[in-house]
Structure 1
Amino acid sequence: MGLVAEFDIGCEALPLVTVAAAVPESTLLLELQFNHGERPVFLATVTGGSGGAVERALTDAADVREWTLVGRAGDTRRYQALPAFSLEEQLGRHLDDLADLEALATTDAIIERIEVTPDGWRQTGWFADRDTFETLASFWQRNVDFRLRRLTRDGDPESPGEGLTDPQREALRTAYELGYFEIPRRTSLESVADELDISASSASERLRRAQSYLIEETVATTWPSLPD
């Protein structure tokens, strides 16, 4: 049975990252058309934000030679952009071995979603097996910042608690600002709960779940285990 993975690739040299950084209020999804030789055409779907701001960012982007607005529907716009550089020219200074990057294209994997963020790409993909996924993960780990967000078997529901939820993030921030984590503590769990307008038991659970996630992210060194 295959795997489904969601992960972040932190590399500001990736295509269209400067565009995403210029319009952080927008969601930018990218498709690469590799049937155009060394310079795959960028197909960008942008939702939200100002169309004018997006188009100024495309015009200013060093990695975009020219772009065309293909169509729009509501606040979603579709663009086709011709790259100014080959992937080798764009990424060569940031990767140890471009041949390994090219080899990834022949692995038993399908990347179905690329979201461009202000500091890299967030990808979701399907992988034939664990070895296929680890080939991709180890390549990016050797070269840039890589963060695994989710890894499940295909057909399984998404594991709960992946990443910090907004309530957990708020609970951590509130507890920190009130001095709950200081030694000695400057406030009580009850005070944190009052600030969040929830019960003390709910506040405790949110903080424990958030802390468990952060410990796994910063201390654990192995990939998440998968059920047999």
Structure 2
Amino acid sequence: MTITTEFVIRSPSLPLVTLAQSIPSNQIECVHGLCRERTARVFVVYLNPDDDVSEDELAAFDEIVDVTPLGRASGKDVYQVTLKLADVVSDAFAPERFTASQVEPTIVTPDGWYEKKIFQNYNAFNGMRTRCESYGIEVELVSISQNPPQNNGSSRYGLTERQQEALQLAISQGYYESPRQVSTEELAEEMGISQPSMSSLLRRGERQLLTSALGSQPEVKALSE
């Protein structure tokens, strides 16, 4: 049974905190792959247009080594930035040490990182917290909730366990963002399945969610499954 956690991470070594301090809103959103790849240095950053941050101003930060504008999504200016990560950050978030799925983009403020993640159990979360603290990174738990168990291999939306796993992974990695942050090939590699199988899981899961949300539809039997 998985748990959903909300927590704040604090450390002077965390990237983008200085950027958040410098803008009027004191807040940015980002998507990163630190839980999947130790050397992940490419972040997708979402900035409020009212903060009026230019590409040149981003590039002027010492920790940012490359900036690529990606346009606008959900009313925010989107940039892909390559960062210089402190060793303690790369080591503390080493993916082989723990596994977690990102539920929402990381919110970066002058106080640190606010994150919402799904862990396999409390021990998995506590292991991540203990490891971070061993590197001088504080982790403050804001909330924790136990996700409901699945009955007979399906969720309350009628999804199979694998469909739900595929959809949660796709959401956490930005598959449904605009622009898309990950490909079905990358998602398939993460789940250890082929790309056609991943596409099928997502397609069937999406159809089931729509059917559940829109109400029962007349059953149409396919000629073959």
Percent identical among aligned pairs is 22
The structure where helix makes up a greater share of residues is 1
**Could you tell me the TM-score, scaled by structure 1's length?**
0.55
Q: Does structure 1 conserve the Cα–Cα contact (< 8 Å) formed by 2:32 and 2:40?
A: no
Query: Is 2:64 aligned against 1:64?
Result: yes
Compared CA separation, residues 100 and 60, structure 1 to 2 (3 A): closer
Q: Counterpart amino acid of 1:50?
A: D
Q: Which amino acid aligns with 1:154?
A: N
Paired position in structure 1 for 2:3: 3
CA distance in 2, matches of 1:75, 1:114: 17
Structure 1, residues 148-186: CA drift from partner, whole Å, max 9, x if none? 111111249xxxxxxxxxxxxxxxxxxxxxxxxxxxxxx
Residues 1:116 and 2:108 aligned together: yes
Correspondences of 1:2-151 after superposition (within 5 Å): 2-25=2-25, 27-33=27-33, 38-51=39-52, 53=53, 55=55, 57-73=57-73, 75-83=75-83, 85=84, 87=85, 90-92=86-88, 99-102=91-94, 104-105=95-96, 107-112=98-103, 113-142=105-134, 143-151=136-144
Indicate the RMSD between aligned Cα atoms, in angstroms. 2.8
Superposed structure 1 runs of 4+ greater than 2 Å apart:
33-40, 47-51, 53-57, 98-101, 104-108
User: Counterpart of 1:193?
Assistant: none
* TM-score, scaled relative to structure 2: 0.56
Supply the distance in 2 between the matched residues of 1:111 and 1:78 (Cα, whole angstroms).
19
Aligned length: 146
- Structure 2 unaligned blocks of 5 or more: 150-225
Where in structure 2 are the equivalents of 1:78-227 lying within 5 Å? 78-83=78-83, 85=84, 87=85, 90-92=86-88, 99-102=91-94, 104-105=95-96, 107-112=98-103, 113-142=105-134, 143-155=136-148
5+ residue gaps, structure 1, are 157-228
**Cα distance 1:43–1:137, how it changes in 2: closer, same or farther (>3 A)?**
same
Q: Is the 8 A contact 1:19 1:54 kept in 2?
A: no
